[in-house]
Amino acid sequence: MNLVMLTMLLLPVTIFSAMMIAAASGHRLALRRLSRPTPDAAVGAGAIDAAALGLLGLLIAFWFNLAATHLDLRRSLIVEEANAIGTAWLRLDLLRGDDRPSAQDQFRSYVDVRLAQISGLHANDRRAALATQVNDLRSGIWTSTVAATPHCTSPQAAMLLIAALNEMFDSATRHDASFNAHTPTAIVVLVAVVAVVASILVGYDMGTHKRFEWLHTTYFAALVALTIWVIYDLEMPRYGLIRVDDYDRTMREVREDFDRVPNAARSR
């Protein structure tokens, strides 16, 4: 189990436990305050409670929207890279016949390594090795293709091929960058702090009636913790229940197309 999966398990449990402890502490504080009553102790308390709970809801909604936007972006960039690879593969036909097989073999190796790399479930040393392989394959594809472009059918054809290679490499960079883009830790910490403070206020409000509602408090803490867990799951689409595996299939289908024999070649 890596650090990300451990965090996904511990985060909701920690939030739930902290909220329950905070609510109980707020209730105890209220009981202690009631033993030394002051006439205006409760003035404005309801407005403060509502403001804290409203702020918690606002922060959770903001984080959820940000995480959902990240997920949509990652899905679209997977499809974008698959399309860029497919376009570059088709434009290899612009190369001279004896240059084409070598370039196609390099493309197959490149996409195989990319598919292994984007799964995201590797140890750090394995991840570094895959990144090195991808960089080496990119350099090899670029060098061999540039060397072969003088033999293209025309200068315009060579420009189309080079542009397709640029777009393929750029789309891979955007794809990788999107999976490293997460909601800032400060926002996550702020949500947790506001949830704990809101729980203290809820517990304090129940303390004014001298009875701690365990059922309602448990429901409140569980719902907030569950919501935070789902949002964090959205942020980590390679590890949790909400995944992008269906979109990875577009790249696998592109790779499978590389090995398909055209109908014209079969009929020969």
- 193: which residues sit within 8 A by CB, 6+ positions away? none
Q: How far apart are CA 19 and CA 192, in angstroms?
A: 9
Does residue 194 sit within a domain?
yes
pLDDT in tens, 211-262: 788 898 999 999 999 999 999 999 888 888 888 888 888 999 999 999 875 5
Q: How many domains does the chain have?
A: 1
Q: How far apart are CA 228 and CA 246, in angstroms?
A: 24
Does residue 58 sit within a domain?
yes
Does residue 266 sit within a domain?
no
Q: How far apart are CA 204 and CA 49, in angstroms?
A: 10
Average per-residue pLDDT for the chain = 86
* Structural domain span for residue 107: 3-30+48-259
Does residue 42 sit within a domain?
no
Does residue 36 sit within a domain?
no
Does residue 232 sit within a domain?
yes
CB contact at 8 A, 7 and 192: no
Whole-prediction pTM value?
A: 0.81
Q: Which of 170, 181, 168 is closest to 237 using CA atoms?
A: 181
The pLDDT assigned to 182 comes to: 86
pLDDT in tens, 118-176: 876 666 778 889 999 999 999 999 999 999 888 887 888 899 999 999 999 999 999 98
Does residue 89 sit within a domain?
yes
pLDDT category of residue 187 using cuts at 50, 70 and 90: very high
pLDDT in tens, 32-62: 877 765 555 555 577 888 899 999 999 999 9
The pLDDT assigned to 37 comes to: 59
Does residue 265 sit within a domain?
no
Q: State percent of the chain over pLDDT 90.
A: 51
> In the predicted model, what is the mean pLDDT of residues 74-98?
92
* Rounded alpha-carbon distances, angstroms, from residue 2 to 8, 55, 192, 253: 10, 33, 23, 29
